Amino acid sequence: MPLPAITSILHRISGIALFFGAVFMMYALGLSLESEAGFQETITMFEESIFAKLIAWGLLSALAYHSVVGIKHLFMDAGHFEELESGMLAAKAALVISGVLIVLAGVWVW
């Protein structure tokens, strides 16, 4: 399967992950807005729970990838990167940029 097709499929998967991950983030937002104790509990959850950090990093990773590849798709909709060579180059660039953003998100979360 060509690399542009793989990045497109992963773009859809990252969108699904963001949709379902929003449930966790809505829970954290609701808890943090309930009271000062709820806010402290949310902070503690993200500071001490490896599971919460993993979910946060996963969601940030999905958001970074989905955003970068989404921008690539917008360029493709405008008629750019439609040839085989330029499409491969754009897919590789999107993966590299996403990789850098994912590593930076990991450094920020952990």
Q: How confident is the model over 79-107, as a mean pLDDT?
A: 95
Q: HSE, CB side, 13 Å, CA atoms: give it for residue 21.
A: 19
Question: What average pLDDT does the chain have?
Answer: 95
* Positive or negative: CA dihedral 93, 95, 96, 100: positive
Other residues' Cβ atoms within 10 Å of the Cβ of residue 62:
23
The whole-number pLDDT of residue 110 equals: 86
82 pLDDT more than 90: no
CATH class in words for 3-109: mainly alpha
Domain boundaries of the chain, sorted by first residue = 3-109
Tell whether the model's pLDDT for residue 27 goes beyond 90.
Answer: yes
Handedness of CA 20, 21, 26, 31 (dihedral sign): positive
How far is residue 104's CA from residue 110's CA, in Å, rounded to a whole number? 10
Per the CB < 8 A criterion, the answer to whether 66 and 18 are in contact is yes
